[in-house]
Structure 1
Amino acid sequence: MSSLCAICRRAHRDQGDAHRTACDRCEHRIRGWLREIPRQLPLLEASLVLDGGPAQGRSAGRAHAPLPVRADVLNMLGPAAPGPVRDHRGDQSGTLPILALVYAWAEQIAAERARDIPPFRPRADYTRYIAAHLPYACTRPWITDLHTELGDVVHAARAITRTEPRRRPQDAPCPGCSAFALIAEDWQQFIECTTCGLLLSHDEYAAHHQAVMPPLYRTALRLVVHHATQTQTTPKDEPA
């Protein structure tokens, strides 16, 4: 049975009896963000202190010295309430604290599935808990909110730490649609076709590359040799 992904609106097939709200492609993207978040935290901490400069300390016209740290980074790394605090009224200013975000989603999943999660503490890796239950999350109506909030916090972190992932085009054509549109991206476990959305593991791509590229290289070589031969044998116009 096919249905539309609630996130990207692409058609996808449900797996077994479970009705999936999100497709494999969007699940893969969320899983990549969950792996990236713990790696961004030390980079954010390193970006917390303002660069030194002549404006440090008390200056003329100021009632007090400026904050010695970046407020946007402090907000992302700041403490969070131990509970599923959601900003439904839109009162939050700036990006949600990362710990508050991941803990709230972990508790949301735990409450629905009657499971326990690790006690609330600043260094607990709740992203792993969410990743372990991501197949379940992809059947829930709130998966679009999870996708949006994780995407927002990851992109905000990247803008601060200047770690925008590289996107590297792959040589081989897509085995699904034959387009030369396969992309490998940092933080992601799968190679993705940007035309049809097909996902390939790195082992699957390596096997596909080994199977299709040697014949393509041989075809390209024959075309080059044929073109060179035609150029050499074509008589040139004699000068008048």
Structure 2
Amino acid sequence: MNQTTTITERRGAALAALSGRPRPGRFRKLRHLGPTPTGPAGTERPCLICHHATAAPRTACGRCEGGIRAMLREIDAQRPLLADLLTPGSAPAGPRTAATGRAHSPMPVRGDVLTLLGAGATTTVPDPHGDQSGPAPLDALLEGWAAAVAAELPELDATPLRRSGTTWSQWLTAYLPQIATAHWADTLHSELTAAVRRIRSMTATEPRRRPQDAPCPSCTAFALFATDWAPYIDCEACGLLLTPSEYETHARTTLPNLARLAILITAAHHTTASPAA
């Protein structure tokens, strides 16, 4: 496939293979991203997502790749909470009128959640009447991106397959190293961000950010935070990323010294504050 093929055409061709017909429609809204930038390995280029420097052939830096990984994990972790919202009676009450009370019988389940968890076409659905609206179902969105990844990798079939018992989030996570070099990495990131935002609005559940005790080994600021479902502990001051094992090693060597220093400072303060005998 020519390198100048747009993301619209790449996704369209991959997804058309799933249905056996051309793929006009929804993905025409995506902007023309152009070819993947080229350059010698190690050459710095801006990350397509956060615009910080990253080394070629990457188009997404390590922090943004970790963000994609965290969102894919969160989507799977939030699914049981979304399923709970399908319990009859969990839907909000419908609008009421002054004369007759509720304007119509309530739905037994939440329609927005059912749409998100339900089946959906990974190809464009003809919409002559203009009544197809709302976000794409999660599995349709993720499977569509899996098809885009498969179109980039000649060793994969045009129609991606996942093993029984796994999810499309796990499938995409396995190919994150390849995704981090694709010229559409920022588009995937933005679509996952929108999907996660919709999920959080439904479940009222967001990942917690927990401050860590040890200071950053790079800038020494007490600004290290661990976030649910995120693969790294990040520094809000300088942007350093640490794996949990790296942080544990750092904390074991740093915290005892800080504890001794705190004891000495407390003792010195107590001595200077005590009245002379």
Kept in 1, the 8 Å contact 2:90–2:110? The answer is: no
Kept in 1, the 8 Å contact 2:162–2:168? The answer is: no
Structure 2 distance, partners of 1:44, 1:190, is 26
Could you report, residue by residue, the CA deviation over 1:173-215 in whole angstroms, capped at 9, with x for unpaired residues? 1111111110011111211111221111111111100111111
Task: Give the aligned residue type for 2:47.
Answer: C
TM-score by length of 2: 0.72
Kept in 2, the 8 Å contact 1:6–1:21? The answer is: yes
Structure 2 distance, partners of 1:120, 1:106, is 13
**Is 1:104 matched with 2:119?**
no
Structure 1 distance, partners of 2:210, 2:93, is 41
Structure 2 distance, partners of 1:189, 1:120, is 23
Kept in 2, the 8 Å contact 1:169–1:181? The answer is: yes
Task: Give the aligned residue type for 2:119.
Answer: P
TM-score by length of 1: 0.82
> Which residue among 186, 193, 201 is the counterpart of 1:159?
201
**Is 1:79 matched with 2:79?**
no
**Per the alignment, in what secondary structure is the counterpart of residue 274 of structure 2?**
helix
Q: CA deviation at 1:32?
A: 1.3
CA distance 1:100–1:73, shift in 2 (3 Å): same
Aligned residues: 224
Q: CA deviation at 1:39?
A: 2.3
Structure 2 distance, partners of 1:120, 1:217, is 49
Could you report, residue by residue, the CA deviation over 1:89-123 in whole angstroms, capped at 9, with x for unpaired residues? xx9743321011100000000012131321799x8
Q: CA deviation at 1:54?
A: 11
Structure 2 distance, partners of 1:174, 1:104, is 39
CA distance 1:112–1:151, shift in 2 (3 Å): same
Q: CA deviation at 1:124?
A: 5.7
Kept in 2, the 8 Å contact 1:118–1:124? The answer is: no
Comparing 175-184 with 68-77, greater Cα deviation is found at: 68-77
> Which residue among 129, 145, 148 is the counterpart of 2:187?
145
CA distance 1:55–1:39, shift in 2 (3 Å): closer
Structure 2 distance, partners of 1:120, 1:147, is 24
1:33 alignment counterpart: 71
Kept in 1, the 8 Å contact 2:214–2:255? The answer is: yes
Could you report, residue by residue, the CA deviation over 1:10-68 in whole angstroms, capped at 9, with x for unpaired residues? 223x1xxx421110001011111112212222221211245369968x99376752322
Alignment root-mean-square deviation, CA:
2.9
Kept in 2, the 8 Å contact 1:77–1:98? The answer is: yes
1:196 alignment counterpart: 238
1:205 alignment counterpart: 247
Kept in 1, the 8 Å contact 2:91–2:107? The answer is: no
Structure 2 distance, partners of 1:81, 1:73, is 17
CA distance 1:77–1:53, shift in 2 (3 Å): closer
Unaligned 5+ runs, structure 1: 236-240
CA distance 1:52–1:112, shift in 2 (3 Å): closer
Task: Give the aligned residue type for 1:45.
Answer: A
Kept in 2, the 8 Å contact 1:95–1:152? The answer is: no
Structure 1 distance, partners of 2:189, 2:215, is 29
2:210 alignment counterpart: 168
Structure 1 distance, partners of 2:215, 2:133, is 45
